[in-house]
Structures are given as structure tokens and as C-alpha cells.
A and B are shown apart, each in its own frame.
Chain A
Amino acid sequence: DTGVSQDPRHKITKRGQNVTFRCDPISEHNRLYWYRQTLGQGPEFLTYFQNEAQLEKSRLLSDRFSAERPKGSFSTLEIQRTEQGDSAMYLCASSLSGRDEQYFGPGTRLTVT
């Protein structure tokens, strides 16, 4: 059983650059979530997909953040014009419709210099 995978695992970028992260959920899972986590905090919800439909996006998320899940399988999260405050661990999780448990990938650690 393949778990959730994320790529890249680490990303260092300069302020102002764009970055894109990829998440591949567990194959039969139709729900996909993106979270952001900083040190000492719980995961912060960013956005949620059911199949290819983006059903909710956090109001805390600026317009620099966008996510897609074009065919209801993998998802991408793009951050445009990165800022130092974007430095965090970006987590992807997936779940199966009808089940509440969410399973996380290994995360992508972003450092903005």
C-alpha cells in the first residue's frame, strides 16, 4: 500500500521566486488536503479538494497561493512571489470518502532566503 508522497522534500528559494510542490495521495483516496505547519504549531489548513473540485480555501491564504488537482489524482500547490514568512513545512494529506481519517505525506520543507 503506497502512502502519500510529496515532492520535493526540501526547497530553498530566494524571496520573490515562485515555487511549486506536488502531492500524490493514496491511490483510492478522493479527498486531498494541504496544510502548512510552523515550529510549535499544529497544522494550519490551507485548502481541500474532493476529486478535482476545490471545495474550500482558507481565508488566511493570500492570492499568492494557488492549488490544483486537475484530474482528481495528484495535486500541486504554487506559491508566487515568495516571502520569508512563507518558510514552513507544507503538508499534504488524503482521505477516503466516507472515512474521516487523514493520512499525511512526508511534507515539503520550504526555506525562503
Chain B
Amino acid sequence: QKEVEQNSGPLSVPEGAIASLNCTYSDRVSQSFFWYRQYSGKSPELIMSIYSNGDKEDGRFTAQLNKASQYVSLLIRDSQPSDSATYLCAVYNAGNNRKLIWGLGTSLAVNP
């Protein structure tokens, strides 16, 4: 079992819809969770971080964390074509010498 799992996609949504991206992780002591956006040929860009159970909202983005289920998600409201990218889930455990453990990413396509 991979440490961080994401559906590879592609996830295709129409412009204006809500895109829902999911991530599960295997290490129960993981403490910090991040979503990065990566455009083709570019480096990852941090868009959301979440540390405690519940929801965290930032503009059109909402991150949701459920530690009991070892599950973190990202919702993108009012999706725009410019949101088309790969979304990487990363999990941090200070006991793992501060390395981020990465999923393979979910490709999102927002269709005009």
C-alpha cells in the first residue's frame, strides 16, 4: 500500500462546477497535510495547508481533514479553466525527518 494515495484522474468538470479531489494516507501519526498545484512543466505551488480535523477555507479552495479516516480532500468551487493542473497531496510527519510524502497527483481538467 502506498503511503499517500490519490486517484490519478483525469478528473473533468465543467467551468463553474465544484471539483473534488481526494487523498488517503497510511501513517496515523501524520500531522500536517498540504495541497500543491502543478501546471505542466512547472514546479509545485503550495495552495492549501491543514493541520486539524475539519474544514479550512481560502477563497475558492476548501481543504477537509478527517484524521480518524486518514483522509484529506480539496474542493475547488466555481472551477475555472485556469484551475486545470495536477493537484498533489503531500503529508508531513516530523518523525520522518521532516520529509514530505507525496501522492502521484490527480489531473484536473476544467472545460469551458
Interface residues of A (CB under 8 A from B): 31, 33, 40-43, 45, 48, 55-56, 89, 91, 95, 100-107, 109
Q: A48-B99, A56-B99, A101-B49 are in contact. Are A42 and B104 (CB under 8 A)?
A: yes
Out of A40, A103, A107, name the residue touching B46 (CB < 8 Å): A103
Q: A31-B98, A100-B49, A101-B49 are in contact. Are A42 and B43 (CB under 8 A)?
A: no
Out of B4, B45, B94, B104, name the residue touching A104 (CB < 8 Å): B45
Inter-chain CB contacts under 8 Å: number: 54
Bound: A104/B104 CA distance, A: 17
Contacts of B99 in A (CB 8 A): 33, 45, 48, 56
Contacts of A95 in B (CB 8 A): 98
Size of the chain B interface, CB-CB below 8 angstroms: 24
The B39-71 residues at the A interface (CB cut-off 8 A) are 41-46, 49
Contacts of A100 in B (CB 8 A): 31-32, 34, 49, 92, 94, 98
Please determine whether B44 and A40 come into contact, CB atoms closer than 8 angstroms: no
Please determine whether A48 and B43 come into contact, CB atoms closer than 8 angstroms: no
- Max chain A C-beta neighbours (<10 A), residue from B43, B45, B97, B105: B43
Contacts of B44 in A (CB 8 A): 43, 91, 104
